[in-house]
Homo-oligomer: A and B are copies of this chain.
């Protein structure tokens, strides 16, 4: 399959690229500052991506930002960041991709464990992740031409925990998280939120 991956240089994205290449897919790496440029916050940039890269079977997003800070300190701008970037950036990707992917194509978005299992500081991220999961469940009912849409909800990733000075032992390695993206792209799931700790194929 010909697959665009957005956020291809990130901790998870780079492992998803490896996993897709290993399964002999043709991979187009897209990111804000990479080989192929795209900015999910800007629908025109997403449309430009699909104009440039034709005949795409699947698009995987490992992109999107949201603010993590104590509830009492979250500002309007913090909420706005998550809404514009991680939530509506990926919603825009799905809205545009559905008109450009080949018949039977696949859209895979990224939410996160905080959607259903919040922690101190996650009010904005939990809102954004849960909202995206609600969107995926609903949009799946109306995808045209056999196109599928799913989300992967990564747990804490070992590499990220190490970067933040946290104990990585309860986390999952990014390479294992990547397997859930592969399952979402290649399988027959529709409207699902995949937990990489539970889904391997």
Contact = CB atoms under 8 A, between A and B. Distances in A.
Contact of A71 (B87, B125, B128, B142): B142
Contacts of A79: 88, 91
Count of chain copies: 2
A123 B144 contact: no
A37 interface: no
Contact of A142 (B72, B88, B98, B128): B72
A85 interface: no
Contact of A122 (B128, B133, B138): B138
A137 interface: yes
Main secondary structure of the interface of A (DSSP, over half): helix
A74 to B, nearest CB: 8
Interface of A: 43, 70-72, 74, 76, 79, 83, 87-88, 91, 95, 98, 114-116, 118-135, 137-144, 191
30 contacts: A71-B138, A72-B98, A72-B144, A74-B95, A83-B88, A87-B127, A91-B127, A115-B134, A116-B134, A116-B137, A118-B134, A118-B137, A118-B140, A118-B141, A118-B191, A120-B141, A122-B138, A123-B142, A124-B135, A126-B134, A126-B135, A127-B138, A128-B131, A128-B134, A129-B134, A130-B130, A130-B131, A130-B135, A131-B131, A131-B134
